[in-house]
């Protein structure tokens, strides 16, 4: 390896610092963006190249992405991984990405210089390209690509959530005209990682009755084929695979702004909220879906609102979830809020990735949830999400619509 593994946290810190510096420079000194459109168009290519080089020299891997390599290895032994990982804690998803992990694990074994996570990131960097192409303003594409909220989960971590967002946006783009394509792309988003399932009502609402059936068929068929092929290749069953993919809705309670806020409440109250948080989250989803349908919000903005609702009200949280909202906000031309959200997320990302790369320094070991540094870091992006959601709802005639309920 080019750099010893022990320097992994240091290389992450340097990369994150430089990336954040470029982003803040563009934000606070916009004169650097006053260059010809032709030069602006060429800058993303340079960013992609830098990201590729950085991903290659980055020593070490974040643990959860490294575990996906074990999925590929075990499947290469012709074993059913879902039977081995009985708790489904390592891979609680459909088999779709596991087929890719087989290839990535094999490449890593044949060419050890290519880390498993680097092979994953090679596939994710083109996803950033396709997403940035959906942003109308060339200058705003730079902010999206340089956002710390993009850099940390994708280039440092190697999480595939950005691929889920791409399929989701492609599905939303086809929602009015091509229900079959929309269903296919939405199915692929759920096959990649199943979290986008909570946007299902948004799709059903925007289809006329005669288009719902083609959408549902196009949505279900790829999922069926994915599971069917896996069960035939690895001697598994639909029950085993579906239990893994559908039986674990979201991650466990994680470090988020809401969880830190609840820790400040009396112990009996915060325990009650933690025990029933899925019920509360579902109620908020229902309420905001009702408002979206009454206001006849367009699908892209509706998706943005629902993701904001998740940010604000869900306790099931992982650090990679922070990226879900950003591409949709940029594509919806909500540039200022997206950039402020990126800036306010910087302390949170620093804290989380410091904890992830220093296992002995995990938050639960040396930092209490109520420590000022934890409260400050986690409450910043969450508080802005609350404000952002309120602004989204207040821009249109929310009060009048609520009176109609």
Please work out, in degrees rounded to the nearest 5, the angle formed at the alpha carbon of residue 254 by the alpha carbons of 253 and 260. Answer: 100
Taking a C-beta distance cutoff of 8 angstroms, is the pair 56, 118 a contact?
yes
pLDDT in tens, 216-241: 999 999 999 999 999 999 999 999 89
The span from the CA of 148 to the CA of 213, in Å, is 40
Closest CA to 233 of 116, 73, 77, 67: 77
pLDDT value at position 372? 72
pLDDT in tens, 298-315: 999 999 999 999 999 888
Taking a C-beta distance cutoff of 8 angstroms, is the pair 274, 262 a contact?
yes
Q: What residues does each domain of the chain span?
A: 250-405
The span from the CA of 327 to the CA of 135, in Å, is 9
- Residue 400 clears pLDDT 60, i.e. is over it: no
What's the full length of the chain, in residues?
A: 405
Closest CA to 98 of 239, 231, 280: 231
Mean pLDDT calculated for residue range 244-256:
63
pLDDT in tens, 148-207: 999 999 999 999 999 999 999 999 999 888 999 999 999 999 999 988 999 999 998 877
Taking a C-beta distance cutoff of 8 angstroms, is the pair 338, 346 a contact?
no
- Chain mean pLDDT for the chain: 86
Taking a C-beta distance cutoff of 8 angstroms, is the pair 172, 215 a contact?
no
pLDDT value at position 255? 62
pLDDT value at position 362? 47
For the chain, the distance separating the N- and C-terminal CA atoms, rounded to the nearest angstrom, is: 62
Cβ atoms < 10 Å from Cβ of 213:
12
Distance of CA 323 to the CA centre of its chain: 5
Taking a C-beta distance cutoff of 8 angstroms, is the pair 240, 83 a contact?
yes
Cβ contacts of residue 375 below 8 Å, gap of 6+? 260, 264, 369
Confidence of residue 119 (pLDDT cuts 50, 70, 90): very high
Q: Which residue has the tokens 């969880």?
A: 259
- The share of the chain scoring above pLDDT 90, in percent, equals 55
Cβ contacts of residue 352 below 8 Å, gap of 6+? 255, 319
pLDDT value at position 259? 72
Taking a C-beta distance cutoff of 8 angstroms, is the pair 55, 155 a contact?
yes
């Amino acid at each position: 390896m080019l750099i010893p593994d022990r320097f992994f946290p240091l290389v992450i810190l340097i990369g994150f610092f430089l990336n954040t510096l470029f982003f803040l420079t563009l934000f606070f000194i916009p004169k650097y963006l006053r260059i010809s459109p032709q030069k602006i168009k060429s800058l993303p290519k340079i960013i992609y190249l830098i990201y590729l080089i950085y991903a290659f020299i980055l020593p070490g891997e974040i643990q959860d992405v490294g575990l996906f390599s074990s999925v590929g290895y075990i499947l290469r032994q012709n074993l059913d991984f879902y039977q081995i990982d009985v708790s489904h804690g390592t891979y609680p998803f459909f088999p779709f990405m596991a087929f890719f992990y087989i290839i990535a694990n094999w490449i890593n074994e044949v060419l050890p210089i290519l880390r498993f996570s680097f092979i994953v990131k090679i596939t994710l960097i083109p996803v950033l390209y396709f997403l940035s192409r959906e942003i109308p303003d060339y200058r705003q594409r730079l902010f999206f690509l340089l956002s710390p909220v993009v850099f940390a989960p994708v280039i440092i971590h190697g999480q595939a959530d950005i691929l889920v967002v791409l399929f989701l946006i492609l599905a939303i783009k086809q929602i009015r005209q091509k229900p079959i394509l929309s269903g296919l792309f939405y199915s692929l988003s759920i096959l990649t990682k199943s979290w986008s399932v909570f946007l299902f009502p948004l799709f059903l609402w925007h289809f006329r009755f005669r288009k719902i059936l083609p959408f549902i068929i196009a949505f279900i068929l790829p999922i069926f084929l994915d599971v069917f092929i896996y069960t035939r290749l690895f001697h598994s069953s639909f029950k085993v695979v579906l239990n893994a993919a559908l039986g674990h809705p979201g991650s466990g309670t994680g470090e988020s702004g809401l969880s830190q806020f609840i820790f400040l409440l009396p112990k009996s109250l915060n325990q009650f909220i933690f025990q029933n948080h899925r019920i509360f989250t579902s109620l908020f989803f229902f309420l905001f879906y009702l408002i979206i349908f009454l206001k006849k919000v367009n699908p892209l903005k509706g998706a943005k609102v629902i993701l904001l609702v998740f940010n604000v009200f869900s306790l099931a949280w992982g650090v990679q979830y922070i990226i879900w909202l950003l591409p949709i906000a940029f594509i919806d031309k909500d540039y200022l809020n997206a950039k402020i959200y990126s800036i306010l997320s910087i302390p949170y990302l620093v804290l989380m990735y410091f904890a992830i790369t220093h296992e002995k320094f995990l938050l639960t070991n040396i930092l209490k949830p109520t420590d000022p540094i934890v409260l400050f870091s986690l409450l910043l992006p969450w508080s802005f999400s609350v404000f952002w959601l309120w602004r989204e709802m207040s821009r249109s005639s929310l009060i009048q619509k609520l009176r109609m309920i």
